[in-house]
Amino acid sequence: MAVVGSGAGGSAVAGELAAAGRDVLVIEAGPKWFDPLGTHVRNVYHSEADLSRVGDIIYGEMLSYPSGSSEPVGRLADLKVAHGTGGMFALWMGNCPYPDSGELPTWMGKDEWAPYFARALELMHIDRNGGGSGKMFEALLARTRKAIGARPAGREVMPMPFAARRIENRLKITASDDLFFRGAGSLPNLRIMTDCVVRGVLTDGGKATGLHAALRTNQNERIEIAADTIVIAGGTVGSPKILAASKLDTGPALGRYIHEHVCIGSRVTLKQDIRELIRDDEPVYSIWVPFSHGRPWQNQLCRFTLSSDGGRLAPGIREVDTSDIFTFVAMDVTPENRFIFDHERVDPFGLPHTDAAFGFSRDDRERIGAAMAEHFLIASEVGDVQAGWTPSIYPAGGSTHFMGSCRMGEKDDGESVVDRYGKLWRYENIFVADNSVLGTSNAGNPTFTTVAQALRTADRILGRSGVA
Ligand SMILES: Cc1cc2nc3c(=O)[nH]c(=O)nc-3n(C[C@H](O)[C@H](O)[C@H](O)COP(=O)(O)OP(=O)(O)OC[C@H]3O[C@@H](n4cnc5c(N)ncnc54)[C@H](O)[C@@H]3O)c2cc1C
């Protein structure tokens, strides 16, 4: 079985197939970053004192335009990805908001998701109260609740569910290595080939027979890999490129329905009474104001010390005295927002050059305005919005949560590329398992949902009907 891409979706499927005894080869376009494979960057540079350096490494070295191109994808100026073992999953921050039913496809029942969310919760080591603790955290939680007011049951302001565990008294963020190896150490039946770019799927009739690929360092030599099951997990940009290059019969939805969360971000200096509760060794924290019906956005208050803009702090204010506030706003999912593949030009990976058509609807803009008002309410309740507080809307693509392009659907009606199991409608052994299948408007950081869906895909491949 061949899995293309070693990020969140790819490692979840590969680990599950390998744990069931299947012979699995993961093909990853990027280099081997850390040992063991798929290790999270923060788990390598784990000293808290070193965290600002981690920010520079992530944003300066590990994120790039798709396919390592020197140009953005069309006007998606900030759409960046990670090409290396673990993909973006080696850089993520571990926030796992539990999706509201309004953020999942209406044609799929809650019961279809429940066992997979439960299994993802376990495999990703998600602590539902892991967002923080201590006096300062409790004060911040109380003030955020005051700013927001009453909320529906289960969608109250709460600590963010967080994918990490404590090892030797330090926080180890969940990454691909957890999903690949399941604590069993190296599995002989799971192998990874790095620096190898998959260029297309080989088919015979309605069936895949393998993949063709090339080393990044030697693009002229064609490598063929035989496999009886293919899982494409190259991410929202990578997966549709491979399918487009393969000229498969995917229908008109391929590359369409791309969407993200419009991200409003600001950093606020906390009010004096909250600052007085801060310990010198105050740990990272994350507070969550969930998405709910009629309020299609979510807020997060966190301090990850990933930015190195200490120079912008007011005199006498330490980084630990501030909080980042992010508001992620759901946007409409429409076929007009799409990637456009140019088969006459190739990108640095030898795949079709990719452009994008992407814009906001009137409803999107109204939603962003309402969410911005709530962002201000929170900021002014917990911090000082008088002096130099500047919220900003991230450039398109900048949420790091880009989704769609290989949309999952209920039926083969031209509005989706894969079925509920991630299987291509018109091929019996080609699957997609990554953020690209998420084609329903939502505001939640997507990785928890992507991993849950990837586990469903693995079950389908293994002929299992559910997870005990
Ligand atoms: C700084 C940062 C913080 C984040 N924080 C969070 C968070 O707190 N919570 C959350 O839910 N999400 C977060 N995310 C987003 C999260 O990382 C992604 O949702 C997740 O990694 C997406 O998984 P994926 O499988 O779709 O793609 P990826 O993890 O990006 O993996 C795709 C892999 O496929 C490989 N690939 C692509 N094309 C090819 C090809 N042709 N041949 C071979 N290999 C190929 C790529 O090199 C890559 O390794 C964050 C992201 C970043 C960058």
**How high is the ipTM of this complex?**
0.99
Report whether pLDDT(306) > 60.
no
Q: Whose CA is nearest to atom 29 of ligand 1?
A: 7
The CA 281 to ligand 1 mean position distance, Å, reads 30
Give me the DSSP letters along 152-175: -TT-SSEEPPEEEEEETTEEEE--
pLDDT, average across residues 265-270: 93
Phi, psi for 252 (deg, rounded to 5) = -75, -10
Ligand 1 atom, smallest distance to 238 CA: 38
Strands (E) across 318-363 are located at 322-330, 338-346, 352-357
Directed axis angle between helix 8-19 and helix 110-123, to 10°?
A: 90
Q: What angle do CA 462, 463, 467 make, to 5 degrees?
A: 80
Sort residue 37 into left (φ over 0), alpha (ψ -120 to 50) or beta. Answer: beta
Mean model confidence pLDDT for the chain? 92
Residue 183: what pLDDT?
72
The CA 240 to ligand 1 mean position distance, Å, reads 14
Which residue type is seen at 462? Answer: L
CATH 3.30.410 in the chain is located at: 133-173+261-330+360-395
Q: How far is CA 178 from CA 29, 59, 108, 174, 311, in A?
A: 20, 23, 28, 6, 36
The CA 236 to ligand 1 mean position distance, Å, reads 9
Q: Whose CA is nearest to atom 49 of ligand 1?
A: 87
Within 6 A (CB) of ligand 1 lie: 4-10, 27-30, 58, 63, 81-83, 87-89, 91-95, 197-198, 233-235, 238, 242, 349, 400-401, 434-435, 445-448, 450
Residue 349: what pLDDT?
95
Q: How far is CA 307 from CA 191, 268, 460, in A?
A: 35, 14, 41
3-class SS at 181? helix
The CA 274 to ligand 1 mean position distance, Å, reads 35
Contacts (Cβ under 8 Å, ≥6 apart) of 23? 1, 189
Q: Whose CA is nearest to atom 27 of ligand 1?
A: 235
For residue 310, name the pLDDT band (cuts at 50, 70, 90): very low
From 405, 437, 444, select the one nearest 255 (Cα to Cα).
405
CATH 3.50.50.60 in the chain is located at: 1-124+175-258+337-342+401-468
For residue 468, name the pLDDT band (cuts at 50, 70, 90): very low
Report whether pLDDT(65) > 60.
yes
pLDDT, average across residues 199-209: 95
Report whether pLDDT(26) > 50.
yes
Q: Are 143 and 299 in contact (CB under 8 A)?
A: no
Report whether pLDDT(311) > 50.
no
pLDDT, average across residues 158-176: 89
3-class SS at 300? strand
Quote the CA–CA distance of 114 and 123 in Å, as a whole number. Answer: 14
Q: Are 416 and 253 in contact (CB under 8 A)?
A: yes
Sort residue 336 into left (φ over 0), alpha (ψ -120 to 50) or beta. Answer: alpha
Residue 52: what pLDDT?
67
pLDDT, average across residues 73-102: 95
**Best residue among 88, 117, 199 to mutate for probing ligand 1, ranked by most atoms within 8 Å of CB:** 88
From 71, 59, 64, 62, select the one nearest 347 (Cα to Cα).
71
Q: What would the CATH number be for the domain defined by 1-124+175-258+337-342+401-468? A: 3.50.50.60
> Which two tokens mark 309?
């803009």
Residue 49: what pLDDT?
58
The CA 37 to ligand 1 mean position distance, Å, reads 15
pLDDT, average across residues 45-73: 84
Ligand 1 atom, smallest distance to 400 CA: 51
pLDDT, average across residues 292-321: 78
CATH architecture of residue range(s) 133-173+261-330+360-395? 2-Layer Sandwich (3.30)
Quote the CA–CA distance of 175 and 88 in Å, as a whole number. Answer: 9
The CA 63 to ligand 1 mean position distance, Å, reads 10
Quote the CA–CA distance of 346 and 327 in Å, as a whole number. Answer: 36
The CA 315 to ligand 1 mean position distance, Å, reads 37
Which of 104-108, 188-192, 384-388 is predicted with the least confidence, judged by mean pLDDT? 384-388
Q: Report strand pairing: 230-232 vs 430-432.
A: parallel
The CA 451 to ligand 1 mean position distance, Å, reads 11
Residue 305: what pLDDT?
55
3-class SS at 401? coil
pLDDT, average across residues 224-243: 98
Residue 48: what pLDDT?
55
Work out the number of other CB atoms within 10 angstroms of the CB of residue 56: 12
> Which two tokens mark 210?
């393998």
Please, which contacts does 208-215 make with residues 24 or more away whose CB atoms are closer than 8 Å? 208/427, 208/429, 208/430, 210/2, 211/2, 211/4, 211/27, 213/27, 214/350
Highest mean pLDDT: which range of 46-50, 64-68, 148-152, 185-189: 64-68
For residue 50, name the pLDDT band (cuts at 50, 70, 90): low
For residue 227, name the pLDDT band (cuts at 50, 70, 90): very high
Ligand 1 atom, smallest distance to 87 CA: 49
Residue 373: what pLDDT?
97
Ligand 1 atom, smallest distance to 351 CA: 41
Q: Are 176 and 90 in contact (CB under 8 A)?
A: yes
**Best residue among 69, 92, 223, 241 to mutate for probing ligand 1, ranked by most atoms within 8 Å of CB:** 92
Contacts (Cβ under 8 Å, ≥6 apart) of 177? 36, 37, 38, 39, 40, 86
Q: Are 34 and 287 in contact (CB under 8 A)?
A: no
Ligand 1 atom, smallest distance to 436 CA: 26
pLDDT above 70: percentage of residues in the chain: 96
Work out the number of other CB atoms within 10 angstroms of the CB of residue 423: 20
pLDDT, average across residues 46-61: 75
The CA 83 to ligand 1 mean position distance, Å, reads 8
pLDDT digits (tens, 9 = 90+) for 446-464: 999 999 999 999 999 999 8
pLDDT above 90: percentage of residues in the chain: 80
The CA 430 to ligand 1 mean position distance, Å, reads 20
pLDDT digits (tens, 9 = 90+) for 354-372: 999 999 999 999 999 999 9
Work out the number of other CB atoms within 10 angstroms of the CB of residue 252: 11
